[in-house]
Amino acid sequence: MIERDMTYEVLARLLEERTGQNLTPSRQWRVESALSALLREHDAVSVDELVAHLTSPFGCPLSSRVADALLNNETYFFRDQMIFDALATDVLPDLIARRTASRRLKVWCVGCSTGQEPLSIAMLLAERKALLEDWSIEIVATDVSHRALEVARNGSYTAFEAQRGLDMKRMIRWFEEVDGRWKVSPELLRNITYRHHNVLATPPRTGEFDLVLCRNVLLYFDAATRSKAFGQIATGMAPDGLLLLGAGETTVGQTACFEPAQKPAGMFRLTEAARRAAGTSVAA
Ligand SMILES: C[S@@+](CC[C@H](N)C(=O)[O-])C[C@H]1O[C@@H](n2cnc3c(N)ncnc32)[C@H](O)[C@@H]1O
C-alpha cells in the first residue's frame, strides 16, 4: 500500500508528464470520484491501490487512462454566449472578408473536449453557407484526452448535453434524435478533423490558422508551461490570425507572443515580435 501523499505525488507527476497540467491541492478533492470507474474496473478498494497497479506490467495503458480520467472535460455548446455572439457578428464576417481571395478558412480548437466547441463554430459557419459557397473550411479540433475525443468523433449527445447551450431551433436543424440521443448532422462533422494532440507539442500546422480557440485549457498550467503553450499556438497561427481564450483568461504578462486585439474582449493577436520571429509581418 502506498502512502496517501505519495499517491498524489505519483498522480501529479503522471498528469504533468502527459498533459502539462498541475494537480493543484484544490483539484485533489475530486481525484477519487474522477477515478471511480477505474477503481471498479480494477477491483481496487482505494486510489492508493489503483496507483500501486501503475507499476505492474499492465501499468502503461492504465497510466494513460488514469491521466485521462483526471482531466477536466467540462464543456457545452456556445459556452460564453457573448463571445459566440461577437464571433457571429464581428469576428467571422471580418475574417471571411479578409480571406475572400484565398477562399480558405482554417480554425484550430485546442482542448476541444467532447466536441461542443468545434461544433458551435461549425454551426456558425454552416449558417453562413451562402457566403461560403465553394470555400475550403477546415476545423482542426485537438485534445490530449482519448476519452473525450471518442465522444467527439461519435457526435452523439444525451438530451441533457444537447440542451446545454443549444436552442431548440439549432437542435432541430443540426441534430437528429436517435434512440433517445442527439446525433449531430454529418454536414457539420464533415469540416471537423479530430486529432489527439498536446498543446505543448509542435502544432498541427505552421503559420496557417486564421482563428484559434484555446478556452479553459491553460488554467491548470504553471507560468512556464503556459508560456510554452502560447509559443506553440503562435507558431500555428497565420500572421493576422486571432486567438480566443476563455472568459477571464489573458495573455497579458504571460507571453511575449500575443497582445489583446482591439475587440472583442478575450481575443488576442500575434505581437509584431512574434510575427517577425516567424518571418512575417503584418500592418497592425
Ligand atoms: C475544461 S475543458 C474545455 C473545453 C472547451 N475548450 C471549452 O471551453 O468548453 C479543457 C480541455 O482541455 C484538454 N487539455 C488539457 N490539457 C491539454 C493539453 N496539454 N493539450 C491539449 N488539450 C488539453 C482537456 O482534456 C479538456 O478536454
State the Cα–Cα distance between residues 117 and 123, nearest whole angstrom: 10
The cell for 107 is: 480554425
> What are the cell numbers at 4?
496517501
Q: Report pLDDT for 20.
A: 95
Say how far apart CA 35 and CA 151 lie, in whole Å. Answer: 18
Q: Which of 73, 79, 113 to mutate to test the pocket of ligand 1 (most atoms within 8 A of CB)?
A: 113
Q: Assess whether the C-beta atom of 34 lies below 6 angstroms from ligand 1.
A: no
Query: Nearest residue CA, atom 9 of ligand 1?
Result: 75
Distance of CA 94 to the CA centre of its chain: 23
Q: Is the pTM of this model over 0.85?
A: yes
pLDDT of residue 65: 92
71 within ligand 1 shell (Cβ under 6 A): yes
What does the alpha-carbon distance between residue 189 and residue 197 come to, in Å, rounded to a whole number? 19
pLDDT at 283 over 50: no
Q: pLDDT for 225-277, tens place per residue?
A: 999 999 999 999 999 999 999 998 999 999 999 999 977 778 999 999 999 88
Q: How far apart are CA 151 and CA 143, in angstroms?
A: 12
Q: How confident is the model at residue 194 (pLDDT cuts 50, 70, 90)?
A: very high
5 vs 224, more confident: 224
Instruction: Delimit the domains of the chain by residue range.
Output: 4-70, 81-156+185-277
Q: What's the topology of domain 81-156+185-277?
A: Rossmann fold (3.40.50)
For residues 175-190, average pLDDT = 96
Whether 82 shows a pLDDT value over 90: the answer reads: yes
Residues 154-165: what's their mean pLDDT? 96
Decide if 218 contacts 165 (C-beta within 8 A). Answer: no
Cα separation, 140 vs 212, in Å, equals 9
